Amino acid sequence: MKAALFSAARYNGPAEDVGWPVASTVYAAEAASYALNIALDQFEMADQLGFDWVSVAEHHYAPFSLTPNPMIMAGALTQRVKRAKIALLGASIPINNPIRVAEEFAMLDTITGGRVIAGMLRGTPNEYVTYNINPAESRARFEEALKLVKTAWTQTEPFGWQGRYYQYKSVSLWPRIVQKPHPKIYMSGSSPESAEFAAKNHIGLGFAVTSVPLAKVAADYFRGQCRRFGYEPDPEDIIYRVGVHVAESDDQALEDFTAAVGAAPRGSLTMANRALESAVAATGYYGRDADAQRGRLMPGGLRERVEEGRILLGGPESVLKQIEKIRDDLGAGVVDFTVTHQMGAKTNRSIELIAEKILPKIRGW
Amino acid sequence: MTETQETPAAMLLLAPSSKAADILEKKFELRKDGAARAVLAQGARANEALRAALAGGVSAVVLISPPAVEALDEDIKSRLRDIAAPILALFGTEDSSSPVEFGHAWRRALPKCFQTFVFDAGADMANERPAAVASLVAEFLTLGEGFLVNHGDGRALP
């Protein structure tokens, strides 16, 4: 099993934090700077402590995570992370210019000598408002954009693209991608439609903002689809991204985390604006099992979240047992340990404890 | 095509009737035989289109799902570098008979070949995605090599 660290760069300064998008009238520049820079420090620490990957994400218009352009964060990481792979989980390709995304990946892959992992996501439902894209087009845009990115990475002669959503007269990437034929690609995989597409196209799946029981249903479905399309996924084809806080003991971890959650701006995304979420749902964004998809985004109590594997919380031994469940139920080969609430020295200690007490054990799994 | 050249009024259609041809017919006279300054050919009829281009007087060639360069007729293959007219070569991303990978050799053999991939279409792209094919062909015939430059009105709300 491999370990990734995702330090989400959550803003902990003053904020009104009502709904989504969140106003920035009440805002402290130094708190934002701290959030981004301590995340960079923690990514560097993870690299030095032996994490296999560091990962970043794309979110907009909220204090939840200050990386609306994960490529910029990844660019900074190329100068700090010297060994671990840098996983973009992801780039939200349906709301961006796919060729720009392909170029940015190629730059990162070139600077790092081929250490980039390419998560290509649809983004969260609210994010279709960000750049004014119809969420009903999300899946079709995703599928076309992904094909376009792969084409741009593999073609060496200039080409034009006459798509449904994207048209380019002449594309020719400089620099080129280093990894051949291209970096490992992941997509988010909670819905049946995503699992089918991933299996058909031999793409890995990433689970986030979900629970182990829900992800198990999706992972089982994915494996069934892989058999149908003749693809044999390996454990590394499934990533489980999950919030984490490890302390010396269960009680200490609970005390730390409860205090951090209480002090932080709520900073949630889709479900912070229920009217908007309903409007997105009405476009058909979620697909065939909309109820399950919407359900997994609902916030829950802390005890329930730990029990369902929505968060890894406790001392090292307890967290190891929680990870065991991720391995056994999902067959996940990568755990993306996520710093959702920044606690400074306590978070640093949590990362150290993962490296010292957890990584050596899960590595042999 | 340079600024001094005119948009071809007629196009020689070396391809079956299609929905894309129906759209193009509103802008251009489509001929099934005879001479014209623009030629559109489907599949192996690329040979005829290139032969016409080599004979001169053709200012634009459109090839839909052309064969591999190495599969062209010998008399054409040996003279590809003599073709002066710009060529628009369309490959469908779902076409297994003329896959996008063929485009590479076309580009290497003919520097004035513009390979364009028509997303989610096979060899029958002229019926599967007629608007996508017709709009690009019309732009190419109207602007020649200048079709690379977007001439559209980018204002969402003029």
For chain A, which domains are there? 2-362 (3.20.20.30)
Cβ-Cβ contacts under 8 Å, B118 against chain A: 162
CB contact under 8 A, A156 and B118: no
CB contact under 8 A, B150 and A161: no
Other CB atoms within 10 A of residue A166 CB: 16
Smallest Cβ distance to B117: which of A151, A156, A164? A151
Smallest Cβ distance to A144: which of B107, B119, B133? B119
Q: What is the mean pLDDT of chain B?
A: 94
- Shortest distance, CA A161 to any CA of chain B (angstroms): 5
Q: Is B140 on the interface with A (CB under 8 A)?
A: no
Counting one residue from A and one from B, how many pairs have CB atoms under 8 Å apart? 56
> Is B137 contained in some domain?
yes
Average pLDDT of span B87-93: 98
- Shortest distance, CA A233 to any CA of chain B (angstroms): 24
Q: Is B60 on the interface with A (CB under 8 A)?
A: no
CB contact under 8 A, A159 and B150: no
> Is B143 contained in some domain?
yes
> Is B100 contained in some domain?
no
B73-82: per-residue pLDDT in tens? Answer: 999 999 999 9
Cβ-Cβ contacts under 8 Å, A163 against chain B: 119-120, 132
- The chain A residue lying nearest B94, using CA atoms, is A147
- The chain B residue lying nearest A141, using CA atoms, is B119
Half-sphere exposure of residue B1, counting CA atoms within 13 Å on the CB side?
Answer: 24
What is the number of domains present in chain B? 1
Residue B2 clears pLDDT 50, i.e. is over it: no
> Is B9 contained in some domain?
no
Q: What is the pLDDT of residue B9?
A: 84
C-alpha triplet A80, A180, A45: angle, nearest 5°: 15
Q: Is B149 on the interface with A (CB under 8 A)?
A: yes
| Cis ω for the linkage preceding A50 (within 30 of 0) | no
- Written as six digits, the tokens of A134 are 């119809």
Q: What are phi and psi of A306, to 5 degrees?
A: -70, -45
Chain A residues whose C-beta is within 8 A of a chain B C-beta are 144, 147-148, 151, 155-164, 166, 169-170
Cβ-Cβ contacts under 8 Å, A201 against chain B: none
In the beta sheet, which residues pair with residue B11? B30, B38
Residue pair A2/A53 in contact (Cβ under 8 Å)? The answer is: yes
Cβ-Cβ contacts under 8 Å, B90 against chain A: 162
3-state secondary structure of B120: coil
B56 Cβ partners below 8 Å, 6+ apart? none
- Shortest distance, CA B145 to any CA of chain A (angstroms): 11
Q: What is the pLDDT along chain A (365 residues), one digit of tens a residue?
A: 999 999 999 999 999 878 999 999 999 999 999 999 999 999 999 999 999 999 999 999 999 999 999 999 999 999 999 999 999 998 999 999 999 999 999 999 999 999 999 999 998 899 999 999 999 999 999 999 999 999 999 999 999 999 999 999 999 999 999 999 999 999 998 899 999 999 999 999 999 999 999 999 999 999 999 999 999 999 999 999 999 999 999 999 999 999 998 877 665 677 888 899 999 999 999 988 888 888 777 777 888 999 999 999 999 999 999 999 999 999 999 999 999 999 999 999 999 999 999 999 999 99
Cβ-Cβ contacts under 8 Å, A159 against chain B: 100, 103, 115-117
> Is B24 contained in some domain?
yes
Q: What is the pLDDT of residue A234?
A: 94
CB contact under 8 A, A147 and B119: yes
> Is B56 contained in some domain?
yes
> Is B3 contained in some domain?
no
C-beta contacts of A274-280 below 8 A and 24+ residues apart: A276/A20, A276/A126, A276/A129, A277/A125, A277/A126, A280/A125, A280/A126, A280/A128, A280/A135
Give the full edge-to-edge strand order of the sheet including B87-92.
A167-171, A159-162, B113-118, B87-92, B60-64, B38-42, B10-14, B29-31
C-alpha triplet A321, A327, A332: angle, nearest 5°: 140
> Is B6 contained in some domain?
no
3-state secondary structure of A22: coil
Residue B122 clears pLDDT 50, i.e. is over it: yes
Cβ-Cβ contacts under 8 Å, B147 against chain A: 169
B3-27: per-residue pLDDT in tens? Answer: 445 678 899 999 999 999 999 999 9
Domain that holds residue B30: 14-92+105-119+131-147
